[in-house]
């Protein structure tokens, strides 16, 4: 429970920064698709790598410093690793509410309706321009 003096830990008007600075992508690099690897090569020339392997921590970096986080579909697992209902939708909602964007590589995660309880999806969240570039690169 938060004490009264801990209220500064809550930012009711959370917004992604105007100048993105970090990126982090999951999955084993040798299993990335060629199109995704090419996109990452562009991004790593512009942003600083901040990937810890824990989605909440990595998304918090994006919310704090701006940038993009993602877990792509892989060559041997094109459906992705993360679950749409339990990871994709909640994280997409937080990031989009903070002024960013989400995507499965083609469209907003919030536009996807799952067919199965544990349906998996590629997941990308962060700065709108970086998410749009990702969709162009993968499209």
Domain assignment present for residue 58? The answer is yes
116-125 pLDDT per residue, tens: 999 999 999 9
pLDDT tens-digit map of 55-71: 999 999 999 999 999 99
Q: Is residue 102 part of a domain?
A: yes
For 92, counting Cβ atoms within 10 Å of its Cβ (0-12 exposed, 13-18 middle, 19+ buried), the class is buried
Answer yes or no: is 118 within a domain. Answer: yes
Nearest alpha-carbon partner for 50 in 87, 25, 81, 14: 25
How many structural domains is the chain composed of? 1
Structural domain span for residue 92: 19-138
Is residue 36 one of the residues assigned to a domain? yes
What six digits make up the tokens of 136? 């162009």
Is residue 99 in some structural domain?
yes
The sign of the CA dihedral 77, 55, 107, 41 is negative
The Cα 28–Cα 34 span in angstroms is: 13
How far from the centroid of its chain's Cα atoms is residue 5's Cα? 32
Average the pLDDT over 123-132 and give the result.
Answer: 98
With bands split at pLDDT 50, 70 and 90, how would you rate the model's confidence at 102?
A: very high
CATH of the domain at 91: 3.40.190.80
- Asked if residue 10 is part of any domain, the answer here is no
Question: According to the model, what pLDDT value does residue 1 have?
Answer: 46
User: pLDDT tens digits, residue range 47-59?
Assistant: 999 999 999 999 9
Domain membership flag for residue 3: no
């Amino acid at each position: 429970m938060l004490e009264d003096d801990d209220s500064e830990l809550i930012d009711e008007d959370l917004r992604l920064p105007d100048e993105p600075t970090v990126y982090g992508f999951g999955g084993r690099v040798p299993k990335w698709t060629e199109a995704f690897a090419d996109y990452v090569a562009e991004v790593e020339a512009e942003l600083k790598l901040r990937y810890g392997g824990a989605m909440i921590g990595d998304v918090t970096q994006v919310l704090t410093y701006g940038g993009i986080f993602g877990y792509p579909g892989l060559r041997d697992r094109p459906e992705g690793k993360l679950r749409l209902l339990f990871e994709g939708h909640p994280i997409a909602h937080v990031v989009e509410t903070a002024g960013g964007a989400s995507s499965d590589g083609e469209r907003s995660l919030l536009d996807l309706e799952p067919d199965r309880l544990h349906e998996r999806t590629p997941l990308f969240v962060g700065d709108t321009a970086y998410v749009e570039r990702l969709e162009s690169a993968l499209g």
